[in-house]
């Protein structure tokens, strides 16, 4: 099926979902760790528009944007389907994936980097978004709706570890087991899957990364004032 490469960063939650998908499908790939502070000519060549990871390179043809990479992987390798078969269920999975990335990931990042009253507003808004996601997982073990994780589980897969590390570094709490009991239970089900557990980065490294990011953001903000 041709040579598969992933240009990624071990700190990026958007890259983890791509590696999980390839592993679930049993696709062999070469992983190329990108230094995001000093981007490689290979990344700039393969993603000249956004200059971001992840990029999947299959037979020298690059694909950017993690959600579209997941769809590509699912269409190219048919074993272990990630998206549901039914068109309506597929539309719902796409809708919630986009919602999660735009509202929950971006909402958590906003809460993480802002201060004072702006932070409070960002936290409130992120919590509102997680409330919608909580409703989606109620009564289910996985977002896929069955006993195997699928597309939407991979997309939400940043919550157990990345969000947790971001919360520690940022001194905030979004994923509260009392507020979001079903989502909390899902995080536990998700990280118990051996394939997922095996390729989670060390928590300390992530906390350290978010601490450094926050210092950088604060110093840039201070320099502007």
Residue 40 is inside which H or E element, if any?
Answer: none
CB of 47: closest distance to a copy of itself in angstroms? 10
User: Please, what's the b/e burial string for 189-224 (b: 16 or more CB within 10 A of its CB; e: otherwise)?
Assistant: bbeebeebeeeebeeeebbebbeebbeeeeeeeeee
CB atoms within 10 A of CB 100: 24
Q: Which residues pair with 61 in a beta bridge?
A: 58
| CA proximity to 83, closest of 147, 149, 135, 157 | 149
Q: Which is nearer to a copy of itself, 63 or 159 (CB)?
A: 63
CB of 218: closest distance to a copy of itself in angstroms? 26
CB of 111: closest distance to a copy of itself in angstroms? 19
Q: Which is nearer to a copy of itself, 26 or 171 (CB)?
A: 26
Name the site residues for a copy of itself (rule: CB under 8 A): 49, 58, 61, 63-65, 68-69, 71-72, 75-76, 87-88, 90-92, 94-95, 98-99, 132
| CA proximity to 17, closest of 53, 42, 50, 48 | 53
CB atoms within 10 A of CB 85: 7
CB of 93: closest distance to a copy of itself in angstroms? 9
Q: Which residues pair with 109 in a beta bridge?
A: none
What is the radius of gyration, based on Cα positions, of the chain?
Answer: 18
Q: Which is nearer to a copy of itself, 91 or 195 (CB)?
A: 91
Q: Which is nearer to a copy of itself, 103 or 173 (CB)?
A: 103
Q: How far apart are CA 149 and CA 77, in angstroms?
A: 16
CB of 178: closest distance to a copy of itself in angstroms? 23
CB of 75: closest distance to a copy of itself in angstroms? 4
């Amino acid at each position: 099926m041709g040579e598969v490469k992933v240009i990624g960063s071990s700190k990026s939650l958007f890259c983890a979902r791509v590696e999980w998908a390839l592993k679930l499908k049993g696709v062999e790939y070469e992983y190329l760790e990108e230094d995001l502070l000093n981007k490689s000519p290979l990344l700039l060549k393969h993603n000249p528009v956004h200059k971001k990871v992840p990029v999947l390179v299959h037979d020298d043809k690059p694909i950017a944007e993690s959600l579209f990479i997941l769809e590509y992987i699912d269409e190219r390798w048919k074993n272990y389907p990630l998206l549901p078969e039914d068109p309506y269920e597929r539309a719902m999975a796409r809708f919630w994936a986009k919602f999660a990335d735009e509202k929950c990931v971006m909402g958590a990042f906003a809460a993480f980097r802002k201060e004072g009253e702006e932070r409070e507003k960002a936290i409130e808004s992120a919590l509102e978004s997680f409330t919608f996601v909580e409703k989606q997982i109620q009564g289910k073990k996985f977002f896929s709706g069955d006993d195997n994780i699928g597309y939407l589980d991979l997309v939400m897969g940043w919550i157990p570890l990345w969000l947790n590390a971001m919360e520690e570094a940022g001194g905030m709490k979004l994923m509260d087991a009392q507020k979001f009991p079903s989502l909390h239970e899902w995080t536990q089900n998700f990280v118990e899957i051996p394939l997922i557990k095996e390729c989670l980065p060390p928590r300390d490294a992530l906390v350290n990364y978010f601490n450094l990011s926050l210092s950088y953001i604060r110093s840039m903000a201070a320099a502007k004032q």
